[in-house]
Structure 1
């Protein structure tokens, strides 16, 4: 809609297709297509993205993503690591396809979400304590000395 309306306005003023394309920074083919069609909004044809190379590895990739999320943060693979892992198993596709698939999967299946947590504000005796280090200046036998000590509450 943002593209078609200005194209039609400029064409109604008498501008050429080439001038419209240059001023709106779109291709001449796009301008011609919108002028010839009776549409008022652009339409995208493809509804389903085929995964010709990734389809054979989809189940394995989903399993790897879920296992990867359960690992400690330092042991997790990043997107490039997952891509290389797939390549070692025979994947011939590109990195971008793997990255997009992982992002879509994470959006559909949030693995970690908000967790209801309860932190008690009262504790039984000896259940919780606080230990602090401190330093004090004291006079010991007439000499000023710094003393480090620890105490619990």
Structure 2
């Protein structure tokens, strides 16, 4: 996010060229152009957390964790035993 502001400031206020900005920040010219054309900073949006390997056992694991939270510390399961 800081980089985006620095790129805009150098281009609009200081009047530096896209090639010069790309050289200074070690970015491609296309990336610098893309940042200059965007109005909002880029955001990463993940749809849903994938659980391909543990998905089938999720309910059982939650049950075990709830039971373990009520047990004394010495009798709880370790991550490997779960």
Report the TM-score, using the length of structure 2 for normalisation: 0.66
Q: Which is helix-richer, 1 or 2?
A: 2
Matching residue of 2:53: 53
Count of paired positions: 73
Gaps in structure 2 of 5+ consecutive residues: none
Shift of 1:47: 3.0
Contact 1:4 1:40 in 2 (8 A): no
**Residue 7 and residue 57 in structure 1: after superposition, are their counterparts in 2 closer, same or farther (change >3 A)?**
farther
**Quick check: which has more Rg, 1 or 2?**
1
Structure 2 distance, partners of 1:38, 1:73, is 53
Q: Which is strand-richer, 1 or 2?
A: 1
Contact 1:68 1:76 in 2 (8 A): yes
Matching residue of 2:33: 35
Gaps in structure 1 of 5+ consecutive residues: 22-27, 87-153
